[in-house]
């Protein structure tokens, strides 16, 4: 079974208003559903996507997640001790800044071994690395 992680940007592409990449990610989600992929995200990504998608699209996104469209991987507050150094490593002011949502996905990839990522954030996810040096395959 295929597995992938989903960034907030991909969720907003599908559930946002007039998103240029919406059709592409909708097709990917349909393929994932047909082929029974294991799809995961994190709560920081849900919060970010919910903030970025305007109503009523936000409500459609949250209902989709509530129906199990994607597994939302939990982590406890001690994981922040691993996320903070990641964010510090990939924050290069003033150009780039790793946010909590991205850090949570890099952390999740390290925990699960899943390195396939649905994201529009090519610049950042192309430079992020897992502790073993592997990069992401971006869809």
State the pLDDT at residue 131: 86
What does each of the 139 residues of the chain score in pLDDT, given as a tens digit? 799 999 999 999 999 877 888 889 999 999 998 999 999 999 999 999 999 999 999 999 999 999 999 999 998 999 999 999 999 999 876 678 899 999 999 999 999 999 999 999 999 999 999 989 999 999 9
State the pLDDT at residue 21: 86
State the pLDDT at residue 80: 93
State the pLDDT at residue 43: 96
| Domains of the chain, CATH where assigned | 3-138 (3.40.50.1010)
State the pLDDT at residue 20: 85
Contact 139, 28 (CB under 8 A): yes
State the pLDDT at residue 10: 95
Rounded CA separation 96/109 (Å): 21
Integer Rg of the chain from CA:
14
Burial of 15 (0-12, 13-18, 19+ CB in 10 A): buried
Model pTM?
0.91
State the pLDDT at residue 17: 74
């Amino acid at each position: 079974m295929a597995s992938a992680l989903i960034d907030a940007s991909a969720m907003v592409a599908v559930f946002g208003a007039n998103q240029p990449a919406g059709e592409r990610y909708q097709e990917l989600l349909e393929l994932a559903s047909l082929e029974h992929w294991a799809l995961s995200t994190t709560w920081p990504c849900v919060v970010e996507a919910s903030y970025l998608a305007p109503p009523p699209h936000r409500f459609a996104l949250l209902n989709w997640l509530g129906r199990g469209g994607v597994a939302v991987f939990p982590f406890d507050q001690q994981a922040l001790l691993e996320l903070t150094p990641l964010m510090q490593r990939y924050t290069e002011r003033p150009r780039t800044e790793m946010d909590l949502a991205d850090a949570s996905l890099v952390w999740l990839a390290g925990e699960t071994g899943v390195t396939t990522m649905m994201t529009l954030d090519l610049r950042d996810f192309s430079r992020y690395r897992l502790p073993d040096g592997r990069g992401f395959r971006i869809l």
